[in-house]
Structure 1
């Protein structure tokens, strides 16, 4: 579409012992204090999995196992001349120790407790799909 800015985003739902990792949005970003699944914007012409691997390494200092990543769902958000393509992946295997590299608060939570946290609406939409996978 002419005049529409398209942003592609890859987010990773990391699973460990029936819990999933959520991260608070940094205080210097829009929706500060809300929780979301780790990930971020893809660079121009970057493939989804490559962008996911890069974002998770930058944010959490871990390397996800590409062979153990499962594509879950994608969403399209349209806002004022913008399109945001959100792509969610599930991963339960990675190398390294998870550390917050971007001053985010990280929490391992049970799926049944996730609504106790102020989650971004776009991230809340994926939670129903997780019930079948966790």
Structure 2
């Protein structure tokens, strides 16, 4: 593991673990409606893990906080406006894929402005947490389903 910084407390964001795989930092939201359903979106078939259902979110831009990145991604993907004060840190996912190590903070959000719409061609679906296991999801998302089911 490569360490940088004057106090040696920072992990090199490009390499992680003994295998020196790339660390991919993404952020996601569990948007929860009044009925306790969570919004999922289907990955485009022409992308990696195409056809799988996932939580809305995306990659951070250099220098961006996770909250700012999530607010930006939700606007781009769904056309909704979210305030930082409406994002509650919930859990995180860490999963080692063949090509990279994924690290994904997940926030709960119950308040937003606008009606979520698929602005990037993806399909959207509101799903109760107890029914999420019926959908094909990326491996990193599987543990999140249990957390949501127990919490909501």
TM-score, reference length from structure 1: 0.91
Task: Give the drift of 1:79.
Answer: 4.2
Task: Give the drift of 1:83.
Answer: 2.8
| CA–CA distance in structure 2, aligned partners of residues 98 and 81 of structure 1 | 32
User: Could you tell me which residue of structure 2 aligns to residue 95 of structure 1?
Assistant: 113
Secondary structure in 2 matching 1:132: helix
Question: Structure 2 vs 1, CA of residues 71 and 81 (structure 1 numbering), >3 Å: closer, same or farther?
Answer: same
Q: Which runs of 4+ in 1 moved over 4 A?
A: none
Match of 1:78 among 96, 101, 106: 96
Contact 1:76–1:83 (CA under 8 A) maintained in structure 2? yes
User: Could you tell me which residue of structure 2 aligns to residue 121 of structure 1?
Assistant: 139
Structure 1: runs of 5+ lacking an equivalent: none
Question: Structure 2 vs 1, CA of residues 112 and 27 (structure 1 numbering), >3 Å: closer, same or farther?
Answer: same
Q: Deviations over 1:8-61 (max 9, x none)?
A: 100000000111111000122111110000001111121010001011111000
Q: Which one has a bigger Cα radius of gyration?
A: 2
User: Could you tell me which residue of structure 2 aligns to residue 131 of structure 1?
Assistant: 149
Number of aligned residue pairs: 134
| CA–CA distance in structure 1, aligned partners of residues 122 and 56 of structure 2 | 10
Contact 2:133–2:145 (CA under 8 A) maintained in structure 1? no
Task: Give the drift of 1:78.
Answer: 3.2
- CA RMSD, aligned part only? 1.6
User: Could you tell me which residue of structure 2 aligns to residue 42 of structure 1?
Assistant: 60
Write 1 or 2 for the structure with the bigger share of strand: 1
TM-score, reference length from structure 2: 0.81
Secondary structure in 2 matching 1:107: strand
